[in-house]
Structure 1
Amino acid sequence: MRKIIENYGSILLLLLGIALGSVIGLLTPHAVEYIKPLGDIFLNLLFVSIIPLLFFAISSSVANIQGENKLGKIIGLMSIVFLVTIVLASIATIAVLYFFPVSSGMASAGVMESPTADNSSWGDRIVKFLTVDEFNNLLSRQSMLAFVIFSFLIGIAARRAGAAATAFTSFLNAGNEVMKQLLLLLMKAAPIGLGAYFAYQVKTIGPQLFGFYAKPMALYYGFGIVFFFVFFTLYAFLAYGRKGPATFWKNNIVPSLTALSTCSSLATMPANLDAGKKIGIPPAIANVVIPLGNTLYKNGSAISSILKIYVAFSMLGWNFFDWNTIITAIGITVLVTIVAGGIPNGGYMGEMLMISVYGLPNEAVPAVMIIGTLVDPLATILNATGDTVAAMLVTRLSNEKFAPSST
């Protein structure tokens, strides 16, 4: 019993906090406004820690990679894993929709206004997405990919500087350790913070699941849960053999609960990095793949992207199961997984990309935006926890060894 408490005490406390939050959200929704600030404070503390965590984790990891070809090998393998698995998620979703078609029933559900169109050129959008024009803008969550690229380049520059950068590399390593300890302190408040935020999620999102969107939502949550357990178990097995599934799922509980409670991949990243350490993913791989995957790798967004395109086509009476449409949908989905940011409800940018490419009329806009909101909890779990299993696959493909940590 003592051993169970030592190993799973923090998880049990987290489950208790979320359970209490669920009860409060369901039975006393009027009390949510009083406890939600506790969740907001916890989430804000996580968010302000993300920027220095990303910087030190990525730059120190890259700076300490030995060998000129190792970094390029990690990035190359990571790109292959991301692309192949996202395409697999898209194809699997298309197959499920083909065999289990759903009727949208949402022709009159235009309850949201269409957003203002962005008339800037694609070149301008790419520039804004990858870079910022002022250093202080890097410190915003809206510029996460630009910040990741900057941190990555700092690590490369430290490597190129060689012995002259020894002191700077030591600073990066020390900063990485300090941020890890800070996050350990913050996570001690997780049962209270996530419980409060989960109460808010139950109060606001739960009732909306029983409306016009019941069938698409049932399909997404049904298939998404199957995908979560079946595909991630398969990936863990391919990466780590028989030990893989048990090791992955044992250490994926806290990241999954964090993602479910916050609907934020960014807030889940610290838990993913800790899980990666316990699984035994080499730091040089985990500290590159997991932060980059937080922005670039999203299984949940891939599944919801296909579903939203299908629902929009169904609502308009268009044929989705045309090869040109399907190939375009997969291409859009790959882009959406890059565009969707690691913040709550960050998929709206990807939805606007979809609408722009297909030229969907205004009446289709509310449907895809509402679906994007309602699938956010499960989509975040798939998006966030997929980063860890992707890092496991990169470890296997790079012939590195797993070294599980018991701490």
Structure 2
Amino acid sequence: MENSRKKGFWYYYKFPIILLSSIILGCIIGLIMGEKASVLKPFGDIFLNAMFTIVVPLVFVTITSAVSSMADMRRLGKILGSMLLVFVITGLIASIIMITVVNIFPPAKGVHIEMPKAEEIEPLKTSEQIVAAITVTDFTELISRKNMLPLIIFSIFFGLCVGLIGEKGQKIAEGLNILSEVFLKMVSIIMYYAPIGLGAYFAALIGTFGPELLGSYARAMVIYYPICIVYFFVAFSLYSYFAGGINGVKLYFKTIFPVAITSLATQSSVASLPVNLDAARKMGVPKDVRDIVIPIGATAHMDGSCLSAILKISFMFGIFDMPFKGIGTYLTAIIISILSGVVMSGVPGGGLIGEMLIVNLYGFPAEAFPIIATIGYLVDPPATMINVTGDSLASMMVTRIIEGKDWMKKSLTANED
């Protein structure tokens, strides 16, 4: 019995342990070598480039195959509606939590930063940014990971049209399903290189930017990092309990750590997408749900970004000696955090655009932009981890809404390989 338990633990945690060990080793190498560790960066870039290369066709085939294979278009509507509901509610909860925390522990208290000169920032034209977030001017622009949201919308539309032409579209749908399996197999092969790639990447990252993490932004980081850890274990436990009861909690945390480690190391929702899709399959999330919710979530479900947006706003209020208080201030901050997390994430350079949005809407001077952009960079690893791991959890919650509370007993992925 004891041996079976040991085998079970090693079976589920072997890869996360190897991955985490390689990252820790990379951090140690980075601290020892300092900036010289940048020579290892190409080994990390190979892994990132491989993941980024595969992600565009993977997103296209997984979404189109999921949508085109749906005989019942009402189910697609239920999935999209449930997904939007989950995205907004979890983003709202994350924003409220961070508002509470920054009022108890103001992130800019006692922080004095010399403001560097910055070029004048052009005012944001929100309507134009929204159009840019969901559309592109040419088909060739779709074949780029910088335009993920337009690609997702096109993929849904394409899959819908394949389904609408009836039997003629069946061969295309079958081909898309096979292509989806091929790309997922490619991902599983690439992941064998992950420990080397991520270890090297983290060594270069710590070697180059480690000292900056100990600078004048330390207080904000001391607030943000623990909140992300608490949110991950407490809020996600509650969400997974809603999704599948105590078994849902166990299944989620048994499966999610490779995704968490990959996203923390790569700092990219898009690069983590293939690993996240595989994790959702292991969680028992049906193919049509995970192939729609997770790719869309990679660009539009940003609990970590909502947490960081509130932190940035309150930090800037403190820097400029403005009181971060009042219902109106809180409501505006929540709207901006959800907007920067959902809409702006689909725009190339979305993080910086979200930060520019904060600077402009609150009337901060142009010199504020480098400050808020630096905070954005420092909080990016845990924010991305919360964003990515929240996507697979969202797919579980959507499945709970669509299939009912006993969905885990139905073995919805039993017919898959």
AA in 1 matched with 2:19: L
What letter matches 1:367 in structure 2?
I
Query: Which of residues 256, 261, 280 is equivalent to 2:260?
Result: 256
Amino acid at match of 2:62: A
Match for residue 22 of structure 1? 27
Partner residue of 2:234 out of 230, 238, 244: 230
**SS across alignment from 1:267:** coil
Listed one character per residue, the Cα deviations across residues 238-270 of structure 1 (whole Å, up to 9, x for unaligned) are: 101011111111111101110111111111111
CA RMSD of aligned residues (A): 2.1
What residue in structure 2 maps to residue 162 of structure 1? 166
Q: Which residue of 2 aligns with 1:88?
A: 93
Q: What is the aligned counterpart of 1:123 among 123, 127, 149?
A: 127
Instruction: List aligned pairs for 1:71-86, cutoff 5 A.
Output: 71-86=76-91
Q: Spell out the pairing of 1:81-160 with structure 2 (5 A cutoff).
A: 81-111=86-116, 113-114=118-119, 116-117=121-122, 121-160=125-164
Whether contact under 8 Å (1:265, 1:343) holds in the other structure is: no
Q: Name the counterpart of 2:39.
A: 34
TM-score normalised to structure 2 length: 0.92
Distance 2:236 2:353 in 1: 26
> Does 4-13 or 317-326 show the bigger shift?
4-13
The question of whether the paired residues in 2 share the 8 Å contact of 1:109 and 1:212 is answered with: no
The amino acid across from 1:84 in the alignment is: I
Of residues 55, 61, 75, the one that matches 1:70 is 75
Change (3 A) 1:6 1:246: closer
Greater mean deviation of Cα atoms: 237-246 or 47-56 = 237-246
Match status 1:181 vs 2:189: no
Q: Which residue of 1 aligns with 2:3?
A: none
Deviation, 1:4, is 4.9
Deviations along 1:371-390, one digit per CA (max 9) or x if unpaired, are 10110111110111110111
Q: Which moved more, 1:100-109 or 1:214-223?
A: 100-109
> Is the alpha carbon distance of 1:343 and 1:277 closer, same or farther for their aligned partners in structure 2, counting shifts above 3 Å?
farther
Kindly provide the CA deviation profile for residues 278-317 of structure 1, in whole angstroms up to 9, marking residues without a partner as x. Answer: 0101111111111101000011100110011111111112
How many Å apart are 1:162 and its aligned residue?
1.0
Counterpart for residue 48 of structure 1: 53
Contact in 2 for aligned 1:301/1:340 (Cα 8 Å)? no
Measured in 1, the distance between the counterparts of 2:33 and 2:295 equals: 38
Is the 1:221–1:378 contact (alpha carbons within 8 Å) kept by the matching residues of 2?
yes
Shift of 1:66: 2.9
- 1:243 aligns to what? 247
CA distance in structure 1 between the aligned counterparts of 2:264 and 2:371, rounded to whole angstroms: 23
Contact 2:312/2:372 (8 A) holds in 1: yes
Kept after mapping to 1: 8 A contact 2:239/2:397:
yes
The counterpart of 2:311, out of the listed 303, 307, 320, is 307
Out of 204, 212, 218, the position equivalent to 1:214 is 218
Q: Paired residue for 1:320?
A: 324
Aligned-residue offset at 1:100: 2.4
* More off after superposition, 10-19 vs 277-286: 10-19
Amino acid at match of 2:208: T
Identify which of 352, 358, 365 aligns with 2:356: 352
Q: Give the fraction of aligned pairs with identical amino acids, expressed as a percent.
A: 39
- d(CA) in 2 for partners of 1:321 and 1:381? 29
Mapped partners of 1:323, 1:336: distance in 2: 20
The one-letter amino acid paired with 2:104 is F
Q: In 2, distance between residues paired with 1:207 and 1:69?
A: 53
> C-alpha distance in 2, partners of 1:374/1:85?
23
Residue deviations 1:23-45 (CA, integer Å, cap 9, x gap)? 11111225422211010011001
Partner of 2:198: 194
- The Cα shift of 1:345 comes to 7.6
Question: 2 CA distance for matches of 1:282 and 1:27?
Answer: 46
Provide the rounded CA distance (Å) in 2 between the counterparts of 1:359 and 1:11.
45
Partner Cα distance (2:310, 2:223) in 1:
12
Q: Quote how far apart the aligned CAs of 1:68 are.
A: 2.5
Contact 2:16 2:261 in 1 (8 A): no
8 Å contact kept, 1:306–1:330:
yes
Structure 1 stretch displaced more, 337-346 or 317-326: 337-346
Deviations 1:188-222 (A, max 9, x none): 11010111111122223332122221211111112
CA distance in 1: counterparts of 2:51 and 2:14, whole angstroms: 21
Offset at 1:329?
0.7
- CA distance in 2 between partners of 1:21 and 1:342 (Å): 31
1:156-210 CA distances to partner (integer Å, 9 max, x unpaired)? 1111111111111111111101101110111111010111111122223332122
CA, structure 1 residues 280+344, in 2 after alignment: closer, same or farther (shift >3 Å)?
Answer: farther
> Structure 2: which 5+ residue stretches go unaligned?
1-5
Give distance in 2, aligned partners of 1:171 and 1:73: 25
Cα distance in structure 1, aligned partners of 2:250 and 2:117: 43
Q: Which moved more, 1:236-245 or 1:331-340?
A: 331-340
Give yes or no for contact 2:149–2:346 (8 Å, CA) kept in 1.
no
Corresponding letter in the other structure for 1:262:
T
